[in-house]
Amino acid sequence: MIDLKQKTISTDEALEVIIFNELGTITKPTLISWIKKNKLGKKVGGRWRVNEEKFFKYLGVTGD
């Protein structure tokens, strides 16, 4: 069953999370590679959406 309540963020928002948490900087192609390799999101309407919970867990940060 699909969880329709999963919050997703855009790739731009995901890049901002990385910068905000002082984890360095990465390029959008690198981020998309992480998303694919680690199943952190999916492509919706031609754009990548990142599962917020999985992404934060992957980075080891909280959403606060």
pLDDT digits (tens, 9 = 90+) for 1-46: 455 567 999 999 999 999 998 999 899 999 999 999 999 999 999 9
**Strand (E) or helix (H) holding 10:** strand 8-10
CB-hemisphere CA count at 13 Å for 45? 2
Structure confidence at residue 56 as a pLDDT band (50, 70, 90) = very high
Backbone phi, psi, residue 46, to 5°: 85, 0
pLDDT at 1: 45
Instruction: Point out which residues pair with 10 in neighbouring strands.
Output: 49
pTM: predicted TM-score of the whole model, two decimal places: 0.83
Does the pLDDT value for residue 62 go beyond 80?
Answer: no
pLDDT at 59: 93
Residue 41 and residue 8 in contact, taking contact as beta carbons nearer than 8 Å: yes
